[in-house]
Amino acid sequence: MGCAVKKRIFGNWKMNGSLEANAALLQALKSGASQAACEVAVCAPAPYLSQLHSVLAGSAIAIGAQDVSAHASGAFTGEVSGAMLREFGVRYALVGHSERRQYHGESDDLVARKAQAALACGITPVVCVGETLAQREAGETDAVVRRQLAAVAHINGHCLSEIVLAYEPVWAIGTGKTATPAQAQAVHAVLRAQLLAATTSAARIPILYGGSMNAANAAELLAQPDIDGGLIGGASLKAADFLHIVACAG
Ligand code: PGA
């Protein structure tokens, strides 16, 4: 069974936004989510974290980053450390999003070290796992997600219960092709079993679903026993849609 704790609805803005557009979106989210029964976070591009820090201060919405360096400091041009993110009130950082794995060559090992770096700074890593369409069609889904999670568990075993996991089938991201509730639940159950074997606190590790979750399909996905929330891309850019999903998670 999934966590007994509150569901989580996290927005992933990806590389979208502007100071002006963010201001309007954040104001709408702030008022719309003030009574939310679930935990709400927004993962924004790094340059806007300062804006989120001031606009969301004292609100019910947590701040998330979309990536974090595996290193603490030094000659890593372009990277942003966990300690820097902490200065802007960041509570969560996505690690291993499929777009990072695909376009930036991030390996399972690097993703695991990024999760470790986040944890060391008191940031909760939202570890993303998921199979491509080719892997699903080859019957490799379970093996792929288990391998991706195993790498993270391997070096973060002692604090594995501090992570958030997100199952995001690559073929469902930004495509409008959502996994069916049964397809998503089946993979969440595989991940839950793996967590149960790895840590006694597995029941409280949230496993979010991501991949074309929207206002129309969120309720059915969130009703699955091992789906503890959603990681929302496209629909997180529209206040009404995102708030509808937040309401579904109440
Ligand atoms: P999507 O993205 O909701 O636009 O499919 C989800 C994600 O990539 O986190």
Shortest-distance atom of ligand 1 to CA 214? 3
> Tens of pLDDT along 80-130?
999 999 999 999 999 999 999 999 999 999 999 999 999 999 999 999 999
Write the residue with the smallest CA distance to atom 9 of ligand 1: 233
Active site residues: 97, 168
**For residues 212 and 55, what is the distance between their CA atoms, to the nearest angstrom?**
27
Judge if the beta carbon of residue 165 lies within 6 A of ligand 1. no
Structural domain spans, the chain: 8-248
- Domain 8-248 maps to which CATH number in 3.20.20.70, 3.30.1340.10, 3.40.50.10790, 1.10.260.40? 3.20.20.70
Judge if the beta carbon of residue 173 lies within 6 A of ligand 1. yes
Check whether 4 has a pLDDT greater than 80: no
Please tell me the distance between residue 74's alpha carbon and the centre of ligand 1 in angstroms: 32
Judge if the beta carbon of residue 94 lies within 6 A of ligand 1. no
> Tens of pLDDT along 172-219?
998 988 899 999 999 999 999 999 999 888 888 999 999 999 999 999
Please tell me the distance between residue 170's alpha carbon and the centre of ligand 1 in angstroms: 9
